[in-house]
Structure formats: C-alpha cells, structure tokens
C-alpha cells in the first residue's frame, strides 16, 4: 500500500471513528434522555404511590380503629391501642391526646401519649400548656409542615409536644372542645416522611369523632358498671344484713324456744300435760268433770312434833327430799301431782293416763312405794331423830271436777266428794299402810299380786260408813 492509499485508508477510518463518536454521543444522549425520563417517571410513580398509600392508610387506620373499639376492654386499653395504631400505621413519631381534666374543666392536659421517653414526659408535660395555645394555634385543626408559615402559638405547641411537624384536630362534644388529638414527625423527607397534608387532618378529624364517641361510651359504660358495682355492693350488704338478722332471729327463736321449753317444763311441773296444752292454746282452762279419778293423799303423823324437834331449815330440807322422791315415784307410775299442803302430799291418777296399769292400780303401787320409802330409806335418813317419820296414806276413786283457779300463781286442782273421801282414807288409815276405799278396791280387786285386808265399814265423820281395805303387794306373785 502506497502512501496515498494509506492516507485514504486513514481518512476513511478517521471518518468512521468520527461517525462512531457521533453515534456514541448520539446514543449516550439518547440513553441519558431515556434514563432521565425513566428516573423521573420512577420517582413520580414512587411519590404518587406514596400519596396513594397515605390515602389507603387513612382508610386502613379507620378500619383498624373500628376493630380496636370493638375489642378494647377499657379506656386505657383503647387509647393505648389507638395511639400505637397512629404511630405505626401513619408512621408518626409521637402522638398525644390532650384532654380536659375533670377537676379543672378549662385545662387541657396531655393525658394519653406514645413515642415519648420517660424523661421527655417528665420534662415536657410537667407544666400545663397555656390555654391560649389551642385557641390560637388552629381554630378547627392544626397542620404544621415545612411549608407552613407558623404563628407563635404553633411554635409554642411545637416546643411543648417536641414535634417540628405535626397535625392536630379538636375532639368535640356537644359543641365544646373536650380534647385535642395531635401527632407528628420529627423529620420531613421524601419519600420516607412526606409532608403532612390536609388529607391527614381529615383522617384525624374522623378519628377524633370515633375517639370522642368511644370515650363517652366507655364513660357511660363505666358509670353503669360503677352503678352496677354499687348495686352489687348494696345487695351484698343487704344480703349480709339479712343473714345477720336471720341469724339474730334464729338465735332469738332458739332462745325463745329454750325459754318456752323452760316455761313448758315449769308449766308441766304445776299442771298436767293436757291442761297445760289447753291453757297454752286457749289462754284458759275450762273446768272438766273427770269420771274415774283416783286420788292419793299422804300425811305425816305427828308432824308438829317433828317440827318442834328439828330446826325449821332441816325440817324443810327433809320434807323437800321426801317429796322429791314422791315426785319421782308418782311420775314413774303416771300419776299427776296435784299439790302439797304443809306435810300432806296429794296426787291423782286418771284413767287415760296412758300407762298399762289402771289408774287405781297405779295409785296403789305408787302409794306402796311411797310408804316403803318412808319406812325404810327415809327412816334411816332421819336416824338422828329419836322418833322416825311415819306416814298415813289413803286412796279413793270416783268422779272429780278439775280446773284452774285464779290468774296469779294459779293452781290446778280437783274438787268433789271423791277428793274429800280420799282425804278421809288417809285420816282413817294406819301408819305405814295404804288405805283404800271400796270404790278403789273395785278397780283392783282382781289384781293377783295385791293382797287386801278388809277393814270393814268404818264410820267416817261427816260421811257415814265407808268400807276400807289395806292393800299390799305379794312380792312372790308380782311379775318380774
């Protein structure tokens, strides 16, 4: 290749290089323009998407708030969940709810907050915020972003809540501001922390409405709960009182029952059961004629002599002991004690006494036992006496009239000729013997283990002749 050819080749290559360089320049510019366009579109898409996301979050947060309202168990739980939702969903750094104090209606105090460290809370919220701040920071809502021309009140609020960029909305009840919901960010930077926009305030306004409604619902619910609790306490107290009262009444009733038992016992000590029952039930006892009553009388012979020999106390004590034993004996045989008159003891047995023995037999067996006691046991007891106790005992059977006389210290008594005759049986009896009338004899004459000693007819003063028998028990014939 000669020089000319070489030069032509070189020129051709240079031209190609120049062309290639132009092409590179052209494609570089073209690719840069495409890149510029793409980068801008990408970025605008991101911003658009971010704005859409902000709006979507607005709806999302309202939906989530609904769920919180439905699941919150108390007001603290509600605010804690709601504030967390605002922080995490709307990507805020701090959120605070100012609320009117119950005691100071005009003071708005940071009541619920999240995103503040404890030392910030202590430092920032220890002093109250000037009342005028809220009145002047924004009439309905507050929006402070980088482009906002702030007034001094917004600066004061910003310093107080430690947020350079923030938004807030009133919480209104019946036309009155009851609180403020405020949240914000420490930084404003696209795309991570886009400026807070009026749409955010709108979302907050809706949230404030929910918060207000929920707060007052909770308050109402709390009041109802408190009222229920008070009612429950009242009921419990009432139940306690009723229980105490019931216990008192039961105690009183038991005491009363005990007293009544005592009273009944006392009454039965002085009255036969049927008589006592009628007296208790009716308040009085109607005198009754009893057709087959057996009357028993005892009397100590020469009692006056004993009384002279003994100290009165000892005499009464001895007599008391003897009559106590008699009480036991007649009770055992189903007799009813009528009364004692001095040293005389009077008892009666009715046909319906409910024992297996007949009334007359019961009286006789009681009389025999009483005589045995006086002659054996009581004699030994009175061993210091030179003359032992001796007793006559008489029994008669027949009709009597029974009744109660008097109102005070009333006494059950029986009257009639049968009683007088029984007394005579005692007077005309003999020491240590049981003297019965013929009338009584008729009731017991067939009792195999009784031995009778007929005394014949004996003239009784004021009564004429009365047939009498001494009666005793043939122990060999008496069934075991």
**Which residues of this chain interact with another protein, rule CB under 8 A?**
27-29, 31-32, 34-36, 38-40, 42-43, 45-46, 49-50, 53, 80, 84, 87-88, 91, 93, 114-115, 117, 185-187, 189-193
Q: What is the DSSP string of 81-120?
A: HHHHHHHHHTT-SEEEEEEE-SSSTT-EEEEEEES--HHH
Residue (47 or 257) nearer to another protein, CB: 47
Helix (H, G, I), strand (E, B) or coil at 400: strand
In the bound complex, what is the minimum distance in angstroms from residue 187's beta carbon to another protein?
4
Q: What are the distances in angstroms from CA 107 to CA 111, 132, 413?
A: 11, 10, 93
Q: Residue 34 CB, nearest distance to another protein (Å)?
A: 7
Smallest distance, another protein to C-beta of residue 209, A: 25
CB of 31 to another protein, least distance (A): 5
Q: What residues have CB less than 8 Å from 459, skipping those under 6 apart?
A: 465
Q: Which is nearer to another protein, 78 or 306 (CB)?
A: 78
Nearest to another protein of 66, 187 (CB atom) = 187
Residue 306 CA, chain-centre distance (Å), reads 67
3-state SS, residue 195:
coil
Q: How far is CA 403 from CA 105, 297, 305, 353, 412, in A?
A: 87, 19, 35, 17, 6
Whose Cβ is closer to another protein: residue 35's or residue 238's?
A: 35
Q: Tell me how far, at minimum, the Cβ of 142 lies from another protein, in Å.
A: 21
CB of 56 to another protein, least distance (A): 11
- The CA distance from 83 to 92, in Å, is 10
- As a whole number of angstroms, the distance between CA 284 and CA 404 comes to 8
CA distances from 121 to 78, 114, 433 (A): 20, 10, 114
Of 119 and 459, the one with the shorter C-beta distance to another protein is: 119
Please report how close the Cβ of residue 115 comes to another protein at its closest, in angstroms: 7
Residue indicated by tokens 């008159």? 341
Shorter beta-carbon distance to another protein: residue 116 or 412? 116
The residue (of 191 and 198) whose beta carbon lies closer to another protein is: 191
Rank residues 80 and 472 by Cβ distance to another protein and give the closer one: 80
CA angle 277-280-283, nearest 5°?
Answer: 125
To the nearest whole angstrom, how small is the minimum distance from the Cβ of residue 174 to another protein?
Answer: 33
Residue entry with tokens 């003071």: 107
């Amino acid at each position: 290749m000669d020089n000319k050819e070489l030069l032509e080749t070189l020129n051709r290559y240079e031209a190609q290089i120049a062309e290639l360089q132009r092409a590179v320049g052209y494609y570089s510019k073209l690719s840069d323009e495409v890149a510029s366009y793409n980068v801008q579109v990408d970025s605008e898409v991101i911003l658009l998407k971010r704005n859409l996301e902000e709006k979507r979050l607005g709806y999302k947060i309202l939906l989530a708030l609904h769920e919180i309202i439905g699941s919150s168990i108390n007001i603290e739980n509600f605010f804690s969940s709601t504030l967390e939702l605002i922080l995490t969903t709307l990507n805020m750094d701090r959120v605070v709810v100012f609320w009117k104090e119950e005691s100071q209606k005009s003071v708005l105090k940071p009541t619920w907050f999240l995103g503040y460290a404890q030392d910030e809370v202590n430092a920032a919220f220890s002093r109250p915020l000037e009342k005028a701040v809220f009145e002047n920071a924004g009439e309905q809502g507050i929006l402070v972003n980088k482009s906002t021309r702030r007034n001094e009140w917004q600066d004061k609020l910003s310093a107080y809540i430690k947020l350079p960029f923030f938004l807030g909305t009133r919480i209104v009840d019946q036309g009155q501001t009851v609180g403020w919901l405020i949240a914000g960010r420490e930084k404003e930077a696209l795309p991570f922390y886009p400026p807070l926009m009026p749409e955010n305030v709108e979302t907050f306004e809706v949230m404030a409405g929910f918060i207000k409604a929920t707060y007052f619902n909770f308050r109402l619910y709390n009041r109802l709960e408190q009222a229920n609790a008070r009612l429950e306490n009242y009921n419990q107290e009432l139940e306690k009182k009723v229980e105490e009262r019931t216990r008192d009444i039961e105690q009183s009733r038991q005491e009363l029952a005990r007293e009544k038992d005592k009273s009944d016992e006392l009454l039965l000590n002085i009255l036969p059961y049927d008589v006592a029952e009628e007296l208790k039930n009716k308040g009085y006892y109607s005198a009754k004629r009893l057709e087959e009553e057996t009357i028993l009388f005892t009397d100590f012979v020469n009692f006056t002599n004993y009384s002279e020999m003994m100290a009165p106390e000892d005499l009464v004590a001895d007599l008391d002991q003897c009559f106590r034993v008699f009480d036991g004996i007649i009770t055992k045989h189903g007799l009813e004690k009528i009364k004692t008159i001095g040293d005389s003891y009077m008892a009666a047995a009715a046909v319906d006494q409910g024992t297996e023995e007949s009334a007359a037999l019961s009286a006789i067996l009681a009389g025999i036992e009483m005589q045995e006691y006086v002659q054996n046991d009581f004699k030994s007891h009175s061993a210091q006496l030179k003359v032992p106790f001796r007793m006559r005992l008489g029994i008669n059977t027949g009709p009597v009239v029974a009744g109660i006389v008097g109102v005070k210290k009333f006494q059950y008594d029986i009257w009639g000729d049968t009683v007088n005759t029984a007394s005579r049986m005692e007077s005309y009896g003999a020491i240590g013997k049981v003297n019965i009338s013929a009338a009584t004899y008729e009731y017991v004459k067939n009792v195999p283990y009784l031995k009778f000693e007929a005394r014949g007819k004996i003239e009784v003063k004021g009564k004429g002749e009365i047939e009498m028998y001494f009666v005793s028990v043939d122990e060999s014939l008496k069934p075991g």
